[in-house]
């Protein structure tokens, strides 16, 4: 019973951390990274489609992404979707490919990106704490319904807190790493 509760709590915490890593990967740093396009959807014949599923995305140099759609008629739609996004990059369309030049980030923009990352990290911490709260509630319920011994419940709560502390430390470490990456010139 207790092992199941611990396993579910850890699973939820791991999902929260995985989601945080996905969010961090979509935040652009000084270098061009194809993952910044993952959130941008293009209307592809009535279906919102990620750019990487309708075009080849290459990184020929550190500050440039080249998008080569398989269906050339989608060039305008891709260009429009990039302009409408909050990417902060102006696409150059030459009729066959779209080039995305990533300028060096200004100090102000770096600070905005760090704030965004801080928000992602805080959301993850909240998700981890929610998993802890739910696990503790499940332990309390087990005491009442399944006659779980009090000492067993205390051990379970201590274990839940230990797991929570580990995941919060992982979130903090991930944030520190991303912050250093964003602030790096």
The Cα–Cα gap between 69 and 33 comes to: 17
Per-residue HEC secondary structure of 32-45 comes to CCHHHHCCCEEEEC
Query: Top-level CATH class of 34-101?
Result: alpha beta
Residue 145: burial class (beta carbons within 10 Å; 0-12, 13-18, 19+): exposed
pTM to 2 decimal places:
0.71
Query: Which of the following CATH numbers is that of domain 2-25+106-183: 3.40.50.300, 1.10.4160.10, 3.40.50.2000, 1.10.132.20?
Result: 1.10.132.20
For the chain, what are the domain ranges?
2-25+106-183, 34-101
Local mean pLDDT, 10-residue blocks, the chain (185 residues): 89 94 78 79 88 88 87 88 82 89 82 92 96 93 86 91 95 93 79
Q: Are 97 and 68 in contact (CB under 8 A)?
A: yes
Q: Give residue 63's pLDDT.
A: 82
Q: Give residue 30's pLDDT.
A: 66
The Cα–Cα gap between 35 and 5 comes to: 35
End-to-end CA distance of the chain: 51
């Amino acid at each position: 019973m207790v092992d199941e509760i611990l396993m579910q709590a850890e699973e939820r915490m791991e999902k929260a951390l995985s989601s945080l890593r996905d969010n961090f990967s979509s935040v652009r740093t000084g270098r061009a990274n194809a993952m910044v396009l993952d959130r941008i959807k293009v209307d592809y014949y009535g279906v919102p489609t990620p750019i990487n599923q309708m075009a080849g995305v290459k990184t020929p140099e550190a500050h440039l992404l080249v998008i080569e759609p398989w269906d050339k008629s989608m060039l305008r739609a891709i260009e429009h979707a990039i302009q409408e996004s909050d990417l902060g990059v102006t696409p150059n369309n030459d009729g066959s490919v779209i080039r995305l030049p990533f300028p060096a980030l200004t100090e102000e923009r770096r600070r905005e990106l760090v704030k965004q990352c801080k928000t992602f990290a805080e959301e993850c911490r909240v998700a981890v704490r929610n998993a802890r709260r739910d696990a503790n509630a499940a332990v309390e319920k087990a005491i009442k319904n399944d006659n779980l011994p009090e000492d067993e419940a205390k051990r379970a709560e201590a274990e839940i807190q230990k797991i929570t502390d580990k995941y919060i430390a992982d979130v903090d470490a991930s944030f520190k790493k991303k912050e250093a990456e964003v602030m790096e010139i």
